[in-house]
Homo-oligomer: A and B are copies of this chain.
Amino acid sequence: MASKLIAVVAGVGPGTGASVARKFSKSYPVVLLARKPENYEGLAKEINSNGGKAIGISTDVSDPSSLKNAIDAIKKEFGNDVGAAAAIFNASGGFLRKPFLEIPTEIFEQSIGVSAMGGVLFSQSFLPLLLNGIKQKSEHPPSLIFTGATASVKSNAQMASFATGKWALRALSQSLAKEFGPQGVHVAHAIIDGVIDIPRTQELLKDMPPEAKLSADGIANDYWWLHTQPKTNFTWEIDLRPAVEKW
């Protein structure tokens, strides 16, 4: 029963998360997770008024009890046997581009707490629902997709607070791909290498053509493409960057 299959997006905001949620809401009820309600309320309203279904749940992915509450709320809404067709981890935490010795411990704790531990906790929370999605005969293999960054594969000077969490998250995604692929869950990792075109980045790359920024809707299309790959042809990792990007 399709109505038993949901898509979950952690880390919705005005960028990638929102675009991904919109895209997947065309096929599944979507659950929007963010710490602050203002990050999902407008989006949930938009999706609901466009004929989709969305609920938002205030969630801190670095906190096991907060994730437990989210799962409880989801089961209350969609039933105890709810399955997930997709779970997308798009969250990231504290990051400060500064000389290493000037970065407060808390920044590292937040970054590693959200990207590394948050990725682990999110996966432990939603893999049971993804496995349940197989039983519910989801049309496409249930998908667990992680959003990475340039800093997932390259760790530059002053980038340690971001890169430590992102490398850990990539390691998690690779291990899970190898463990859960054979069970039918498609685990993928996307290296977003460039500036995404969202309100927050409006002032960046102003002297460049608009196509110098990644399209958030484009990323959502690519995540959907990953989701629709059949079991014979799983991709673990893609990189995504504007054509003009230097790399």
The docked-state distance in angstroms from the alpha carbon of A116 to that of B113 is: 10
Question: Which residues of chain A in 110-155 are interfacial with respect to chain B, using CB atoms and an 8 Å cutoff?
Answer: 112, 116-117, 119-121, 123-124, 127-128, 141, 151, 154-155
Q: Which residues of B contact A165 (CB under 8 A)?
A: 116, 168
Residues from chain B with a CB closer than 8 A to the CB of A101 are 124, 127-128
How big is chain A's contact interface, by range?
35 or more
CB pair A100 B123 closer than 8 Å: yes
Chain B: CB-nearest residue to A209: B231
* Interface membership of chain A positions 212-247, coded 1 if the CB is closer than 8 angstroms to chain B and 0 otherwise: 011100110110010001111111111111111111
When C-beta atoms are compared, the residue in chain B nearest to A235 turns out to be B238
Contacts of A166 in B (CB 8 A): 171
Which of A27-35, A77-85, A179-187 lies at the interface? Answer: A179-187
Query: How far does the alpha carbon of A23 sit from the alpha carbon of B241 in the complex, in Å?
Result: 25
A170 to B246 alpha-carbon distance, docked (Å): 18
Q: How far is the CB of A135 from chain B (nearest CB, A)?
A: 15
B176 touching A100 by the CB < 8 A rule? yes
Contact across chains for B243 and A234 when beta carbons are under 8 A apart:
yes
A-B contact pairs, 20 of them (CB 8 A): A64-B105, A112-B112, A116-B116, A116-B164, A120-B164, A141-B243, A158-B179, A160-B172, A163-B175, A165-B168, A167-B168, A167-B171, A168-B168, A182-B243, A211-B230, A211-B231, A218-B230, A231-B244, A232-B242, A237-B237
A157 on the B face (CB < 8 A): yes
Please state the number of chain copies in the assembly.
4
Shortest Cβ distance from A99 into B: residue:
B179
Q: Which of B117, B155, B235, B245 contacts A109 (CB 8 A)?
A: B117
Given contacts A172-B155, A182-B244, contact A213 B225 (CB under 8 A): no
Report yes or no: B233 in contact with A214, Cβ–Cβ below 8 A. yes
A155 with B174, Cβ < 8 A, contacts A234-B240, A236-B239 known = yes
A244 CB to nearest B CB, Å: 5
